[in-house]
């Protein structure tokens, strides 16, 4: 049972890290959109490219399902809500089945 709890803790921790990566991607995209940071800087460009490569595979299917709202992208919020749902639901289901 301790192994199962440890694996579930790792699963929840990984989901929490993914949530923080999505939040970082959203904040950096806002900073670029409002010209607070400059994409001519190599570090900023590398950071944006890395965050985009990490989050785009998760956001792309959500963007296909959501209607076009112009300049407003709600897909990160939907992804974060889905990840929180997984964080809560999966351990509860596993503990119910295990017990």
Over residues 50-80, the pLDDT tens digits come to 999 999 999 999 999 999 888 889 999 999 9
- C-alpha–C-alpha distance, residues 82 and 92, integer Å: 15
Distance CA 97, CA 91 (A): 10
pLDDT of residue 68: 85
* pLDDT tops 90 at residue 98: no
* pLDDT score of 11: 96
Q: Is the dihedral of CA 66, 71, 72, 78 positive or negative?
A: positive
How many CA atoms within 13 Å lie on the side-chain side of 51? 19
For CA atoms 93, 89, 64, 19, the dihedral sign is: negative
């Amino acid at each position: 049972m301790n192994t199962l709890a440890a694996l579930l803790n790792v699963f929840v921790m990984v989901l929490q890290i993914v949530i923080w990566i999505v939040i970082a991607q959203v904040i950096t995209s806002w900073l670029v959109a409002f010209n607070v940071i400059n994409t001519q800087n190599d570090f900023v460009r590398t950071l944006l490219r890395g965050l985009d490569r990490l989050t785009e595979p998760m956001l792309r299917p959500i963007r296909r399902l959501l209607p076009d709202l112009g300049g407003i992208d709600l897909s990160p919020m939907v992804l974060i809500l889905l990840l929180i749902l997984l964080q809560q639901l999966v351990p509860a289901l596993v503990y119910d089945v295990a017990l």
